[in-house]
Amino acid sequence: MWANLLSFTLLALSFSAWSDAAITPAIYTDGHEFSNYLTAPWVLKSHPSSPKTVAFHPRLDLSQGEYAHLMPNPDAIPLHEYFPEDLHLQKVAADQAVLITTRRNTPISLENWTPWIEGNVEYQGLEGREKAKIRRWIKQYYVDGVEKREIRDRASAFIWSLKQAARPDTIWWAKSLVDKNSKNNEFIDLVAIGDYLKFYDTAEPDMSDAYIKKVTPKIIKTLSLDRELKPRRSALNIGQLMEYRDNQGFMRYKERMIVIIEDLLDGFPDKTDEEKQVILEDIYLIFGSTLAEARQKSINVLETDHHLIFQRIDPNIELCRKRLRSD
């Protein structure tokens, strides 16, 4: 029955020579067989017809380092078990797996959103809960239990791109932000900060007091901790966010962080030294310090004259300096 409903063509490229590699199809006409294929230990087909030709087969020789990115979670749940009795979701999920393993789509950005949306029609046509279930299947297959960080990062970026392709807000970030911050998928964190600051709105965004109090802890957490929730060894490249300007030509990051900083400074003179230190740490994080650097700088400032703190961080933020002068 499944043989009549599904026919999958899997394409594999030789990743040692992407540009001119030949394409070899491996046909699977049974959904159960294909789902088994996706979760089996993989071995490279012996003696491909050409050094530049590779076929996907049920096993892969892990001694071939260049194919290590294909190694899935050995405990992953097969498609036919994850989506029982739902052949359509099996097919759409399998399509996403092929996109990942062939490295066809780079992370979504302003310049390349088309293939993520118009080139993935079946996925985009699913309901939200169905999309989420497919993303969870990809995660448990390519991220959870996978040793190599490169594999996890690639799959995580793919899952993130699928989610961003359905976002209600405008995709505002350029490909350059992705390319320059690809290490450990740091572009995902930069985009998150931009979204918290409503970069998708080029006019003056509505940032209510309630909204500011909601997103400030999230911004601080993103700036201080990496995606594994460990303190960052190097700060996020917030300079990349400085390149985005609003309709009046002002830097969105600086202009919108002012209201965040003002909220942090509310009642600053009446705070204890410990509370002041935490506030100053957060502000140093906002301006590009690591958590360790921010802590040391805040201690140094409190030991001297904290009236001049913003001259040391950024002399252009007059509003914040005025707030400190009230002490």
Is 208 in the same domain as 134? no
Q: Give one word for 103, left, alpha or beta, with left for phi > 0 and alpha for psi -120 to 50.
A: left
CA dist 75 and 139 (Å) reads: 12
**Considering 146, 167, 188, which residue would you say is the last residue of a domain?**
167
Is 207 in the same domain as 156? no
Is 208 in the same domain as 144? no
Q: Which two tokens stand for residue 29?
A: 């006409």
Q: Residue 190: what pLDDT?
A: 98
Q: What is the pLDDT along the chain (327 residues), one digit of tens a residue?
A: 333 323 222 222 222 222 232 222 333 333 344 344 444 433 233 333 333 322 233 333 333 444 444 557 888 888 889 999 899 999 999 999 888 877 677 999 999 998 898 889 999 999 999 999 999 999 999 999 888 888 899 999 999 999 999 999 999 999 999 999 999 999 999 999 999 999 999 888 889 999 999 999 999 999 999 988 999 999 999 999 999 998 989 899 999 999 999 999 988 888 898 999 999 999 999 999 999 999 999 998 888 865 555 555 444 445 554 544 444
Q: Residue 311: what pLDDT?
A: 53
What is the total count of domains within the chain?
2
Confidence (pTM): 0.75
Is 73 in the same domain as 155? yes
Question: In a 3-state reduction of DSSP, which class is residue 116?
Answer: helix
Is 156 in the same domain as 185? no
Q: Residue 80: what pLDDT?
A: 85
Q: Residue 220: what pLDDT?
A: 97
Q: Residue 59: what pLDDT?
A: 36
Q: Residue 308: what pLDDT?
A: 58
Mind giving me the DSSP string for 60-73? --TT-GGGGGG---
Q: Residue 41: what pLDDT?
A: 36
Is 142 in the same domain as 32? yes
Burial classification of residue 214, based on how many CB atoms lie within 10 Å of its CB (0-12 exposed, 13-18 middle, 19 or more buried): exposed
Is 208 in the same domain as 107? no
Is 282 in the same domain as 245? yes
User: Which range marks the domain in which residue 42 is found?
Assistant: 2-167
